[in-house]
Chain A
């Protein structure tokens, strides 16, 4: 179920003194089962882009296809879109409202037309996926839990729909290191099971370790687009755009500046260690 974006532009507050162009003629295709990272500064249009893909905004110009169907055509079934595309916003904990955790997680899933038993099974699955014990959590009030717990409950609510495309907007912002690891592991698991992941993040480390493809946005346009390795190892270009580079790439760069060239294409931690070890071993042999 690829997402195809054709010449899409988006203008905020059109026709008012506050008019602002957020996206300018974007063309993009996102294939099934891929893990795409989106990078860029605040105001570059990345949030607008994902909201357009999720059908939450309507493009000012251009068309967006999901599964070959234009999602902004009058006759398009929005319920179908909601089933297929899940969105985890930056502060998902603010969307909780139900009286119990179970009912909140069920909110989206119960609209799928599943049987009661199946829906409950989905809720159990989703809660366990985010690391909760279903029996212990189901009857608690979501609003009485801690911030991190609420975040995970809200994510479970999105996962329970089992979307084929999962969009995440800065999901790791505000998470503790453990929560961050758990979330990224969960994302990789879902991706391995076939879910398409689109993740907005300005953390180059996360994208280097997890994404297959990286898109860099600038002023409402796509500035760079390609394999994660290729994009994230273009250290110079990224630094020109004042974007962060991964720690592994940074280390390799600093070593290179000191005359220790272990390769220019290092973006991941394990690669760095591997190359460094082979370099040091080679050095010892000389």
Chain B
């Protein structure tokens, strides 16, 4: 977690030196200046979490600084140091928006306690912001969060059980993860599971869909921006990287990110720091990245549309979620789960599927995967008038047509399979073709023919 940044503005040199030394020892990042003008200049260049300012100083006084901070740096808390006996000025400072005050001569422990309270307040504010974002996504045009409404994970098929095992195997790890799979298979849900089974589960989890923003807006969502960074930036804003500090950030449809932003993201992964849009100050951050895509990343790398170095940084662990047609054991358990969910939501007592409905769903290909299945069940619940989902409540189109999906990325000819295997054996044999042919039990000529295809 980042250190609390404190700016001390105090014209008495001894007090300034003493305060700077003492607060630094307490683990804060402290900067000290001996007049209000220098303090104002520093505040204009970078953000501080707390300003501790003497009410009487040469140049700008404490109250002027307070007014400036309230207008331009609303996230900065101000602690005013007042003179002995001047309670009226302390009350005046509080009325003007100071977070707290302390009167001279003050006890250092008391000051540290007040600063710790501010630190705790900021921590709770950050948690609250993350929680609000996750529970109340803004309108679609500016949306940056996937709704998290509680989740349960259905995995009856062997393939999905293996996915669960993989998630558990990385639960004590902090590695970045790349989730791949067709649209609608449940990549977002797996990302949540990765976070909530990890050591970061107490910290924030937020999702960002990289496909729905322009490059400029995506940069602002990720890195935040400084006041005046672009037209409309009337105040500084923290980006998701800052908000999820200590937690997990899920980047959905990562392949839609421009190569320019990919380069910046790579720097965050490598250096654990970034600069806000329009800013100059590097901000340290500790975020775990989980990314997802339904595209063939290798093809995108070959086409220059995705950075290979970023791919290797994200793909420390790769989790592939198979399409629903390849794990048909999951169809009915998922359908029953959605039936329960939407029946409850609609206030209906629909408890099962008819044999006909089960047959129809069992023989349908679900090119839209789990998302399509969920939508079909939701609509069936709305249409159904009895206590059992009948075939009539299912869409006509899935009954009329035979739908078959072929994924070229998963289909290889026998020649391609043989070639892949022969290349692996050749690598094992240190590129010695005679040895490789011997291992395969074929002649050198046959090996040459297989590799040539």
On whether the two chains bind one another, the answer is no
- Spell out B's residues near A (CB within 8 Å): none
